[in-house]
């Protein structure tokens, strides 16, 4: 299946680059920490990654090591995973371009070191999931461009990476094509940060953008735009959905361009509407 995917693109002479992505949001942090803890295990990881990527015709490798919710865990990841792994990443970089990393959250550059700038072609900063169903007492802009009450925002995160020394040309802003949902405590109080009593409709607390659009139509939801956070949300009864619509997405892209960022990415394109 993987070979069919890459060979089809190559046959069409597509300019698209394909990356062999290692990791994922559901993986255990200790797996990667153990893997890069010694020179022998790092060498084994790199050699096997190169072998698989070459076998299936990929252009490069993506290190998708995320799901780290606290600063303490990010520091562990920086010490034992990123910096340890990057000591040997020069090897696959010799043959495979591009080489990228996908850290989350984007809001604090705890993992930055000079080796990142030297050895990675880019970083996909996951600028979303700042708030969600794990915070059931209030609604939240789960991909806020700005947050007047804290530093948990895309603007603060991206600017922090740049201030820490990462070239803007290597920083990619992530945009979500899904929303997170809450159940309001009082339907009449529905601003961003309004009191909530739990998660709302969807799988867990998640609806893809196409599902959000369908929900809004089916329930005649009120759709509102929050200028303070640059985000959209919809309300139908006690159901509250925070997401990005076309308007907020355009503003974010313009912000990224103003910072000198070269590109942006979506997670994930199959969540789009029409």
Per-residue confidence at 124, pLDDT binned at 50, 70, 90?
confident
Per-residue confidence at 218, pLDDT binned at 50, 70, 90?
very high
Contact 182, 139 (CB under 8 A): yes
Check pLDDT > 70 for residue 87.
Answer: no
Contact 132, 200 (CB under 8 A): no
Please give the residue that has the higher pLDDT: either 76 or 175. 175
**End-to-end distance of the chain based on CA atoms, in angstroms?**
26
> What domains can you pick out in the chain, each with its CATH number?
2-176+246-271 (3.20.20.80), 181-241 (3.10.50.10)
Contact 174, 126 (CB under 8 A): yes
Per-residue confidence at 81, pLDDT binned at 50, 70, 90?
very low
Q: What is the pLDDT of residue 117?
A: 73
**Rounded to whole angstroms, how far apart are CA atoms 25 and 35?**
17
Per-residue confidence at 93, pLDDT binned at 50, 70, 90?
very low
Q: What is the pLDDT of residue 88?
A: 44
Check pLDDT > 50 for residue 84.
Answer: no
**Nearest CA among 191, 154, 188, 187 for reference residue 171:** 154
Contact 108, 74 (CB under 8 A): yes
Check pLDDT > 50 for residue 97.
Answer: no
Q: Which of 70-79, 93-102, 237-246 has the highest mean pLDDT?
A: 237-246
Q: What is the pLDDT of residue 99?
A: 61
Per-residue confidence at 187, pLDDT binned at 50, 70, 90?
very high
Please give the residue that has the higher pLDDT: either 90 or 259. 259
């Amino acid at each position: 299946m993987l070979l069919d995917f890459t060979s089809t693109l190559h046959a069409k002479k597509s300019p698209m680059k394909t990356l062999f992505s290692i990791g994922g949001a559901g993986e255990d942090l200790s797996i990667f920490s153990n893997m890069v803890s010694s020179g022998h295990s790092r060498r084994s990881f790199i050699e096997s990654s190169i072998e698989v990527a070459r076998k299936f015709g990929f252009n490069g490798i993506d290190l998708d090591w995320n799901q780290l919710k606290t600063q303490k865990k990010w520091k562990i990841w920086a010490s034992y995973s990123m910096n340890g792994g990057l000591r040997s990443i020069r090897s696959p970089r010799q043959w495979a371009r591009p080489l990228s990393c996908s850290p989350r959250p984007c809001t604090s550059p705890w993992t930055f070191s000079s080796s990142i700038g030297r050895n990675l072609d880019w970083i996909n900063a996951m600028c979303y999931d700042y708030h969600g169903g794990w915070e059931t007492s209030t609604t939240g802009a789960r991909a806020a461009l700005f947050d007047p009450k804290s530093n948990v925002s895309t603007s603060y995160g991206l600017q922090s990476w740049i201030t820490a020394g990462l070239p803007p040309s290597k920083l990619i802003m992530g945009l979500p094509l899904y929303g997170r949902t809450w159940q309001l405590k009082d339907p009449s109080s529905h601003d961003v940060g309004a009191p909530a009593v739990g998660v709302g409709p969807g799988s867990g607390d998640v609806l893809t953008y196409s599902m959000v659009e369908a929900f809004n139509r089916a329930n005649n939801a009120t759709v509102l735009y929050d200028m303070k956070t640059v985000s959209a949300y919809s309300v139908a009864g006690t159901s509250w959905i925070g997401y990005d619509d076309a308007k907020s997405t355009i503003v974010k892209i313009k912000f990224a361009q103003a910072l000198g960022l070269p590109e942006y990415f979506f997670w994930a394109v199959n969540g789009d509407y029409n």
